[in-house]
Chains A and B, each alone.
Chain A
Amino acid sequence: MSIQGKKPKVLIVDDGDRYVELAHALLRAYTYATRCELDTVCWECAYRDGCALTHAHDWAETVQALAKHPDTDVVLLDLVFDLPPERLLLSKGHDLATSRQFQGIEILRRLRQAHPDLPVVLMTSSAELSFEEAAEALAVDEFVTLAGADTFDARSLGLLIERVVARQTTRQADEPGDYFWGQSSRLAKLRRDAENLARTSLPMVLYGEPGTGKSALAKQVIHRATGRAGPFVTVDLAAIPPNLVAAELFGTVPGAFSGAVDRRGCFEQARGGTLLLDEIGTLPPDIQRLLLVSLQERSFTRLGELKQRPLDVKLVAATNADLKSAVREKRFRADLYARLNPAASLVLPPLRERLDDLDGLMALFVTRIFADEPDRELLATYMKSAGLKGPIHARLTRGHSADRHASGVAFAISRQTCSHLHRYDWPGNVRELELLLTNAAMLTLFDALEGVRSGRTSGEANRRIIPLPTKLIRDLLEAGRTDGPAMGPPPEGNSVQLALQPAETVSGTMRHMERQVFEQLFEQTDGDFNAMANRLLTGDAPTNARRIRLRFNQLGLRARTLRKRRLSQR
């Protein structure tokens, strides 16, 4: 078995040899994170009898093995460790027997501090684990899988490992990727400050215009730097009705108000992790008081109960408002502002002030767009239709100087377009740039796909490089501007009705909708392409009519067929 051509690396943590014996006898499609220096696989090793380096037997050996194999994909962890006390992680309030019985849980806790998202398969079943404390530790850990009845069934265990590793691979692909720091010294300082402040217990405040990447900084940099094992939770305070904010933050118990249920709030969901309160400036005054008290007391209560619950989160607040002005204008409590540690606030610069990073960001976004489904599927379809072999990925190149023999597909952006983008002021910041490139790349790829299907694009080298049209990018920038002339309602009679039909990909759905638009306009204009062009485009009429005719054909529509259909319906 291999996932993406690489054998998953497995670390076995067990006080005995049962699991490693089984794995070496029956699960040979993996590599193993042993503590041995030899290159040989264990089952072919001359020294295998009595060897104690095949896996980790306790926490100390787990640390050694992971230091030697930082590329470990999954850990198989036993639950019960019958070891002498000096080799056990002793848990507070537990006797020796219980510490042995739950040593796997203790190891898991330590593991989480250093490796928050390393998948762990706990070699036990939920029935054996029906102990309150263990259950609580596992409930908050989304990267733990119980082997259950598969514990010693090699075939099932192999499938389980495969699923866990595949899930992790998908999860990593889903992640927006590492934070892009770029080249500017301003960002380098921001990075140092963010990582240093993350390691403290103090709250942090992030300032920045919309779209500058405050949430990404909180998730990808601050949360990771905290080293906290709990989850990252974000709540957009501006998106919650003011009367529901308290329930969202603190949780509720039945009877708190009409319809209240037993529900955890964000503070509980983020327990042991990081909580991002986005748009903190919109927090209603009464909730500001509750938040202040909670921060002071390091505890909170759910709505409708008296029980104090510990507040165990790294608090990050983000805003694009000037909190200092809000304090002066009495819209934000001064004491809460002070408690949020404003002296150590971080300011994310707008994109127009870091244009040196524009090219790097563009390259990152083009690669990222096609890393995820369903857009990756469209790229795969294009590569298949174009007869392009090799890994499915996209990259950005300047001009047409791309390596025509490189793998994947290159989107070529002209120097003229680049200089236009460098002159733009980017009011929507990084988010606007990402949307622009996503739209441009998708629309261009769609046209390129039609090109290869109709045989208009020949030669592998030409098919590997797809130029991003300058005019398209300018049009998209113009359409995205909010300070331009507003689009009025469509003229009377200039509308169509669409029947939504789900497809496997967004592009499939869009294509279906586009076909309907063209079919209905064809019907409404009696097949007059000039009239259709007038309904859809501005500018030079004859050129537009030709473009509409071309697009009509690209969509697989045939005028003769539609005319015949109209006649038969009359």
Chain B
Amino acid sequence: MGEIDRRRQLAALVHSVGKYISRTARNIGAAPISAPLLRMLIKDLYHLDGEHTASAVFARLAAPIEAQKPDRWIDRCRVLLRKIDEIEPAVRRGDDDAVHLAATMAIEIDTLLRSAFEESGVRVNPGQKTQSPHRR
């Protein structure tokens, strides 16, 4: 995988994991979470592509990037996603601490992915083919 393909995969990670996992997380204030927002958060964390957890989608999309060149941000994201999976029952119950912890970690994942993408810095031409990162 060349640099351009790597950047394409990173763009897919930013779009399909970073942006989507932090959708509800960015809108949770200090107050207890409302029922509609909790439903949205659960969807973001545990049904990210409608079916799989965020950690599973990340594992699929990050695999080719890691195979080419392992990086610390990949490890850090994996750790955060594992923690998010671990607290799933508490998040689903609407436990305040768990919800806020999960939201904080989701935003950190988005930030890590955006930084990695920006550091990759190669411009991409759409004429160059790549595998569709989006599957539902």
Contacts and interface: CB of A to CB of B under 8 A. Distances in A.
A108 to B, nearest CB: 14
Contacts, number: 77
A152 B114 contact: no
A94 B16 CA distance: 21
B132 A152 contact: no
A127 interface: yes
A155 B40 CA distance: 17
B123 A25 contact: no
Contacts of A134: 126
A133 interface: yes
A131 B135 CA distance: 22
B23 A152 contact: yes
A9 B35 CA distance: 26
A79 B14 CA distance: 13
A347 interface: no
B118 A127 contact: yes
A98 B118 contact: no
Interface in B12-26: 14-16, 19-20, 22-24, 26
A103 to B, nearest CB: 10
Nearest to B110: A152
Nearest to A43: B36
Contacts of B22: 152
A154 interface: yes
Contacts of B16: 80
Contacts of A18: 20, 23
Contacts of B68: none
B127 A93 contact: yes
Contacts of A395: none
A151 B21 CA distance: 12
B23 A96 contact: no
Given A22-B40, A80-B15, A152-B22, A97 B132 contact: yes
A16 B49 CA distance: 10
Given A22-B40, A132-B126, A97 B131 contact: yes
Given A97-B130, A128-B11, A153 B118 contact: no
Interface string B30-48: 0000101100100000000
Given A152-B19, A152-B23, A132 B134 contact: no
Contacts of A16: 50
B114 A127 contact: yes
Given A101-B132, A127-B117, A152-B26, A21 B40 contact: yes
A534 to B, nearest CB: 73
Interface string A339-350: 000000000000
Contact of B135 (A26, A82, A98, A153): A82
Q: How large is the interface on A (under 10, 10 to 19, 20 to 34, 35 or more residues)?
A: 20 to 34
B90 interface: no
A101 B15 CA distance: 10
Q: B27, B34, B50, B125: which has the most chain A beta carbons within 10 Å?
A: B27
Contacts of B50: 16
Q: A21, A151, A153: which has the most chain B beta carbons within 10 Å?
A: A21
A94 B26 contact: no
A153 B27 contact: yes
B72 interface: no
Contacts of A561: none
Contact of A95 (B23, B27, B129): B129
A100 B134 contact: yes
A32 interface: no
A94 B125 CA distance: 11
A130 B123 contact: yes
A79 to B, nearest CB: 8
A97 B27 contact: no
Contact of A98 (B19, B26, B129, B136): B129
Contacts of A124: 15
B23 A131 contact: no
Q: A100, A127, A153: which has the most chain B beta carbons within 10 Å?
A: A127
List 9 A-B pairs, minimum CB-CB distance, nearest first. Answer: A82-B134, A97-B132, A152-B23, A153-B26, A25-B36, A154-B27, A131-B126, A98-B126, A133-B126
Interface of B: 11, 14-16, 19-20, 22-24, 26-27, 34, 36-37, 40, 50, 114, 117-118, 123-127, 129-132, 134-136
6 contacts: A16-B50, A97-B130, A98-B129, A100-B132, A102-B126, A151-B19
Given A16-B50, A93-B127, A133-B126, 20 more contacts: A21-B40, A22-B23, A22-B40, A80-B15, A82-B134, A97-B132, A98-B127, A98-B130, A100-B132, A100-B134, A101-B126, A124-B15, A127-B14, A128-B15, A132-B126, A152-B22, A152-B23, A152-B26, A152-B27, A153-B27
Interface of A: 16, 18, 21-22, 25-26, 79-80, 82, 93-98, 100-102, 124, 127-128, 130-134, 151-155
